Amino acid sequence: MWDQYGAGRLLSRNRLIFYHHRLVMEYFLSYFHRLPTGLKVLDAGCGDGFFLEHLRNLGFTDIHGIDASQPFVDICRSKGLDVGQGSVYLLPGDGAFDAVLCCEVLEHLDDPALALQRMAGALHGGGFIFITVPIASSLQQRWRRMMRGETALGQLRQIDETHLHVFSVKRLRALAERAGLQVTSVWVGSNSFPGDDLMKRHGMTALAHWLQRRTLHGTCGDCLAMVLTKGR
């Protein structure tokens, strides 16, 4: 299934054109640009290498990735990235990495709790996991559930039919604690709201994005980023 998925998806394009992805990217860059570039980083579920490319552009050199989709692996290798085909469930528990990326991955997995445990095992003491997941907590998504009877999972599956889970800050925090990880940073962004699409259709995209970025920022949103640290 993942080979077929990788052959038909333009992940980097989506992350460049959709506003909520651009907000996540801003947060990612603001977090990593302050860190030492000698960190050994693994991107678990790296897709076509979008985040690895940005780390490389920031000056990181010891960066690696795995993905279940061979087409994605081939794309990464064509970019000169050190990526192999593999499963997050089979990560070695040798504590070899300073940081693990898990960007837009957990929601696709049948056992995200086990995946987090495996990622924790790949970290040495004091290492961290940088996670992003889509959530359905914006005012627009809540309004649609109330007015149209949609479910949060149904809304996420409209974006990608392979989504299996709906996360929240509370649920992701609970999974982290079960894996022996400490939550050290939480970011919620991209609060789309009722009427957002109408404004964009009438040439008010800039205003819609301004409101999306600033309305109830940090409490309501469609994307969540969390940093989880492993104890020493």
pLDDT of residue 9: 79
Rg for the chain, CA atoms, rounded: 18
Could you give the maximum distance between any two Cα atoms of the chain, in Å? 55
Banded model confidence at residue 5, pLDDT cuts 50, 70, 90: confident
DSSP state string for 10-59: -HHHHHHHSHHHHHHHHHHHHHHTTS-TT--EEEET-TTSHHHHHHHHHT
Among 1-15, 48-62, 132-146, 203-217, which range has the highest average pLDDT?
Answer: 48-62
Query: What is the rounded distance in angstroms from the CA atom of residue 2 to the CA atom of residue 228?
Result: 27
Q: What is the pLDDT of residues 21-42, one digit of tens each?
A: 999 999 999 999 999 999 999 9
pLDDT of residue 208: 86
pLDDT of residue 3: 79
Query: What is the rounded distance in angstroms from the CA atom of residue 210 to the CA atom of residue 133?
Result: 22
Please name the residues in contact with 210: beta carbons below 8 A apart, sequence gap of 6 or more: none
**What predicted TM-score, i.e. pTM, was given to this entire model?**
0.93
Query: What is the rounded distance in angstroms from the CA atom of residue 46 to the CA atom of residue 226?
Result: 17
Residue 161 has φ and ψ, to the nearest 5°, of -65, -10
Domains of the chain in start order, with CATH, are 2-135+160-191+220-230 (3.40.50.150)
Q: What is the pLDDT of residues 174-205, one digit of tens each?
A: 999 999 999 999 999 889 888 888 888 888 99
**Which H or E run includes 224?**
strand 223-230
The answer to whether the CB of 37 falls within 8 A of the CB of 59 is: yes
